[in-house]
Amino acid sequence: MKRLLVLTMAAMAVTALGRSLEIVGFSDDGRHLAYTVSGVYEGSGFPYCRLVLLSSPDDSIIARHEAVDPEHQLDTGVLRDQLLEELREVLDSYGIQEGNTGVFIEYPPIDSPAEAMIISFRPVDGVDGLSPGLYSLDLFQEVLDSSSVYYGMYPSTCSLYLTRAADCGSGELLNWEERPLLEDTVYRFELLPPIIHPEGIMVVFIECTVRGFEVPGTEVVPAAFNDLTMD
């Protein structure tokens, strides 16, 4: 096996171009989640795969491990396979079960208003705190400083809501100004599909556009929510 540069990271690495998010799995009780983000580093062009361990009860990152191929010989899929093999004991110690990606979710189409990004979903299996039916995650973005432009974008904030289609009941999950999930200035937010554990735990991924080495880059930021009760 080709030797890789494997790092245990205390902080996010150099800004990356593009992203490929893949869920490894939850622990059986939903308290831990592992996922990978793959891409190519801006500047060096090194392919990388980063594995992140998330604690859902306190919404904190436990650890980040990363494999980088400085010789540009491996694609990110191979990097991911090798990184998972390297970290098998770590994943087992947290009870991570590969393939345990929560309940199956359908994504019926719902038109989004111009000022919002909406992902609609319908849990096919039971989820604690969510009655059966159609829901949507609604992300609204707002410019913070229109005098500071970067590649046609402005420093921005966002808010995230969970809405129940049956009665239009809605609750705010996240206010970025009150709970920033990233220290860097964010210029654009993109909502990625969520995953839901049957114990009533939802993990949402937000792709944030930030300043890169030469051009804008992205960071994928997770947010865990442990109480989905809307009544």
Do 16 and 111 belong together in one domain? no
Q: What pLDDT was estimated at residue 18? A: 52
Written as one letter, the residue type at 202 is M
Q: What pLDDT was estimated at residue 4? A: 42
Q: Domain end: 69, 84, 101, which one?
A: 101
Do 130 and 92 belong together in one domain? no
Do 57 and 86 belong together in one domain? yes
Give the model confidence (pLDDT) of 148-188 as tens digits: 999 999 999 999 999 999 998 999 999 999 999 999 999 99
Q: How confident is the model at residue 94 (pLDDT cuts 50, 70, 90)?
A: very high
Q: How many Å apart are CA 172 and CA 180, to the nearest integer? A: 14
Both structure tokens of 70? 């400085």
* Three-state secondary-structure class, residue 85: helix
Give CA torsion, residues 117, 123, 124, 125, to 10 deg: 160
* Three-state secondary-structure class, residue 13: coil
Both structure tokens of 222? 């997770």
Q: Which domain holds residue 191?
A: 102-231
Do 81 and 63 belong together in one domain? yes
Give the model confidence (pLDDT) of 197-221 as tens digits: 999 999 999 999 999 888 899 999 9
Q: Domain end: 42, 70, 101, which one?
A: 101
Query: Does pLDDT of 103 surpass 90?
Result: yes
Q: What pLDDT was estimated at residue 210? A: 95
Query: Does pLDDT of 12 surpass 50?
Result: no
